Structure 1
Amino acid sequence: MVINAYVRENAGDAALLSVCLRHVREAFPDGEILIAGMEDAAVHPTFEGARNIGSIRRYVADGTVSLPRRLLRKAVVGAASGLATLLPRPLARVVLRALPAEARREADAVMSADLVVSNGGGYVLARPGLDGHQNVYFVLLPAMLAQKANVPVVWAPESFGPFPSGLQRKLVGKVLRRSAAVLARENVSVTELRSCGIPDQRIERAVDSGFAFAPEKRTDWRARLGVGPADRLVGITARRWLAPAAQERYERELARTIDAVQATGARAVLIPQVSTDYLGDDDRIVERRIRDYCTSGPLMIDEVVDYRDLKGIYDECSLLIGTRFHSVIFSLTSYVPCVAIEYEHKTGGIMADLRLGDWVVPIAEVTHDKLWALVEPLLKDPAPYRAILDANLPGYIARAESLPARLREAV
């Protein structure tokens, strides 16, 4: 049972799910795999051959229903499911049978599985207040139900934290201490887990599964973009993250850098790593504004692109200025130098792992001058950067392929 999957229009999360499914199949070739995630099973009944059953999280957060109904769903389903984790197992199953169908499917599936794997990513975190509490609760809930039935739970390589509340840290610590394996994908997450009372021997340092994502090339991106084989492409990914005034500054500074890139004769291309309506998280909206701020007419991919095809555009780039961190990972695995714009600690942590910490700029501190100080030398001579990749990347990718053995040990 793979839980906490997201949506395929987020190319990074789709890649993590793709790799997770491949690793589960390698570990258990004869196993049946089910997915519980944020995609509606009626719209997307499968993902790469595994059946999607929906999830409690998707049901209570369904944006197609009114806010009062969502709040009611969270209250009723959250309370009933939480009660089930406290009752003796026979009574717990009676309570769970009263859940709505989609929520009941996930509860039944995790409690009857041989293994539950929480998909890799960066969603085990919280903000202050009620919203942060409910996010942590619903992320952990499937694992809590599985543990109620003595089903082993593995947390595939994740970023953990921040957890601003003591109550949040207490719940995270309780669930993760009872898990079969907890894999943290950077050192700052290890520190966050320690703050939750998880001993070092229960925490395993791992590598983001995106480094193991290597689909076959299916699209001739240069023909699709109308550029020649000798043209240098510089990719840019951007996202909505900051308060309005700061967001506009970030976008305008990126536009200035794009103009400077194109003044060198290279072609800049804006790439939407995420193009979903869910939570309004569509990079194309941001990137259209950035394009309009430019004076030089950059290229832009303005359609929804399959996550496997999207990996191919990064292969064609000579350089990436990447905000979405999985766009950075997709590029690094093609030995493309990257300047990473950090919005969560996963960026700085993983870049530091690869000895690339000097090429990270916090999103709130983005200026053209800071970006250009890093970008211009890479356009002139990428060899020193690539030498760092040659020294560090092969072993890093090999570690990303270690999950199947860990899954077998968990069972």
Structure 2
Amino acid sequence: MRVLILGQPSDNRGDEAAARGMIYGIRSLIPNAIFDIVYCYKDFKPVMDDPPHVVSHHKRFLMRLTKWNIFIHLWYLLLYRLGIASSAGSDENVLAKLIVEADAVIYAPQGPYLGGKSIQFRPLFFLALVKMYAKKLMIYAPSMGPFLDDNQSFFYSIKLNILKKVLNSVNMITLRDSTSSEFVKKLNLRNKNVFLASDSALQNPVDQLDGKKLLQSLCIPGTPNKLIGITPIELSWHTHWSTVKDIDTTIAAISAEILDSCIEKYNAHILFFPQLYGNPGKPFSSDLPVMYNIAHYMKHKDKFTVVDIHWETEQQQSVMALMDVFVGYRHHSAVLCAKMKIPCVCISYEYKAISFMEDIQLSEYALPLENLRAKTVLRLIDNALNNRADIVRHLTAISEKLRKTAFISSEKFAEMVTGTPSC
């Protein structure tokens, strides 16, 4: 079975974890599945290094969309629907051939690309395009929403109606958090194949035995009493947060204050875990600049280590498991901490991370970014450390349920392609 994955984000360890979990889950049910992955961006690093007979990566900018090449995509659609194969080497034809050759298509798990104040046209177009090829299509465990009322504006109303038609045409939809599920319920879709799952990164196991060796390779100086991990973020790319004056400087300065206080109070050593691992010279492609920006504000510049940016997600996860507590500004920080059964103080710039923390009954350790204050975060860190044993027991108790809930997406995919309902 040939599976085409569209819209896969790259250069991001969280999205890498989600993609690997998805492929692991599907292949555990459909062992002969092979995958073609088409990425969102022109420049990327593959999320998997499997041999070509399992996964093929497509580096071309196949999902580029302009007002002109929309017609080129539709032209190749017409040709293939008429049974006319083209030998053209254009990106649009390569994508058309991949869709034609696929037995089923997945739109990859990622953040809320459908929803918000301005519904993005690109994913809507490619979802609709796949259905025009009469292919089985699944939206696999993203966040989705929020959706505004259709009386917000004339143009928003049009896009919302298009969105509903597209979602009604999709064969299967799973969502990774309960808030997204509630948003979608309010759309009153005719499509009944919409299910709540969890983040696909929770599906595949991680060998924790490598963690200690990897941690030793970092040569952490001294004998710290606590190890505290952090995944920072910059938000000047974000639709809302980019309008907040000096948001990245504010986050960096407050983060530095938090980390310095932890170093002084707990004799802690700080480990920065870069989630974005692309080109540091390219805006919003690498976490290294934001990490060193935080370090610039820190007093204790000898008390932090940036983990190897080349570590893949499983390597990062195995070392995360050794942290006493984690400070996560990203959704997948919370997800992977839960997977590795360690406390996470989650600072959320969007609803998706808080929704996940609510889903795992640890919402008291989640903080909306607008409430970011050093004292508040330090209090949550204190609470997490004081209650660490209880949190670990809780996460251990729910770990199998979390895995099974995440696995729902793979079961629903198998149900879609085989026609056999999952148990």
Q: Distance in 2 between matches of 1:249 and 1:225?
A: 29
Q: CA deviation at 1:229?
A: 8.2
- Counterpart residue number, 1:267: 269
- Within 5 Å, which residues of 2 pair with 1:9-408? 9-38=11-40, 40=42, 47-49=49-51, 50-54=55-59, 58=63, 60=64, 74-81=66-73, 90=81, 101-126=90-115, 128=117, 132-133=118-119, 136-164=120-148, 165-199=156-190, 201-217=192-208, 218=210, 220-227=213-220, 231-241=225-235, 242-243=241-242, 244-263=245-264, 264-277=266-279, 279-297=283-301, 298-301=303-306, 303-305=308-310, 306-408=312-414
1:272 match: secondary structure = coil
Match of 1:65 in 2: none
> Cα RMSD between the aligned structures?
2.9
User: Are the aligned partners of 1:342 and 1:361 in contact in 2 as well (CA < 8 Å)?
Assistant: yes
- Give how far 1:153 is off: 0.7
Give the whole-Å Cα distance in 1 for the aligned partners of 2:186 and 2:75. 27
Q: CA deviation at 1:250?
A: 2.0
TM-score normalised by structure 2 residue count? 0.82
Q: Helix, strand or coil for the counterpart of 1:166?
A: helix
Call closer, same or farther: CA 1:125–1:402 in 2, change over 3 Å: closer
Query: 1:315: Cα distance to partner?
Result: 1.4
- Structure 2 spans left out of the alignment, 5+ residues: 149-155, 236-240, 418-423
Cα separation, 2, equivalents of 1:115 and 1:103: 19
Q: What secondary structure does 1:282 align onto?
A: coil
Q: Which moved more, 1:342-351 or 1:378-387?
A: 378-387
Q: 1:204: how far off?
A: 0.5
Higher helix share: 1
- On the 8 A contact 2:203/2:406 being kept in 1, the answer is yes
* 2:420 counterpart residue number: none
Amino acid at match of 1:11: R
**TM-aligned CA deviation for residue 279 of structure 1:** 4.9
* 1:206-255 alpha-carbon deviations (Å, 9 max, x no partner): 11111124333546232122237874211011111144523222221111
CA contact (8 A) 1:331 1:338 kept: yes
Letter of the 1:400 partner, please give it: A
Give the Cα–Cα distance (whole angstroms) in 1 for the partners of residues 73 and 270 of structure 2: 49
1:82/1:149 Cα in 2 relative to 1: closer, same or farther (>3 Å)?
closer
Larger mean CA deviation between 398-407 and 147-156 belongs to: 398-407
Which amino acid in 2 is paired with 1:4? G
* Structure 1 residue 170, shift from structure 2 partner: 2.0
CA separation in 1, counterparts of 2:200 and 2:158? 30
Distance 1:302 1:26, change over 3 A: closer
Say which is worse superposed, 369-378 or 307-316, in terms of deviation: 307-316
8 Å CA contact 2:76–2:93 kept in 1: the answer is no
What is the Cα deviation at residue 106 of structure 1?
A: 1.7
Structure 1 residues 289 and 30 mapped into 2: Cα distance closer, same or farther (>3 Å)?
A: same
Instruction: Name 2:421's counterpart in structure 1.
Output: none
Are the structure 2 counterparts of residues 166 and 192 from structure 1 closer, same or farther at C-alpha, using a change threshold of 3 Å? farther
Contact kept, 8 Å, 1:27 with 1:407, in 2: the verdict is no
Identity of matched residues, %: 17
Aligned residue in 1 for 2:151: none
Deviates more, 1:340-349 or 1:301-310: 301-310
Secondary structure of the structure 2 residue equivalent to 1:401? helix
Q: Cα offset for 1:18?
A: 1.1
Asked whether the 8 Å contact 2:22–2:201 carries over to 1, the reply is no
Q: Deviations over 1:155-192 (max 9, x none)?
A: 11110123453233222221221112110111221232
Deviations 1:244-288 (A, max 9, x none): 523222221111110111111121222211122365232221111
CA contact (8 A) 1:246 1:364 kept: no
In the TM superposition, structure 1's runs of 4+ consecutive aligned residues that sit over 6 Å from their partners are none
Q: Distance in 2 between matches of 1:46 and 1:18?
A: 7
Which residue identity is paired with 1:316? L
Segments of structure 1 that go 5 or more residues without pairing to the other structure are 61-72
Residue 327 (structure 1) shift: 2.0
Aligned mates of 1:107, 1:115 — CA distance in 2? 14
Return the letter of the residue paired with 2:200.
S
Shift of 1:313: 2.2
Partners of 1:173 and 1:193 within 8 A in 2: no
Moved more, 29-38 or 214-223: 214-223
CA-CA distance at 1:200 after TM superposition: 7.3
Aligned residues: 389
1:71-113 deviation line (CA, Å, top 9, x unaligned): xx6121224335777x69736x77x959862222222212332
Distance in 1 of aligned mates of 2:225 and 2:377: 22
Go from structure 1 to structure 2 and tell me whether the alpha carbon gap of 1:41 and 1:289 turns closer, same or farther (over 3 Å shift).
Answer: closer
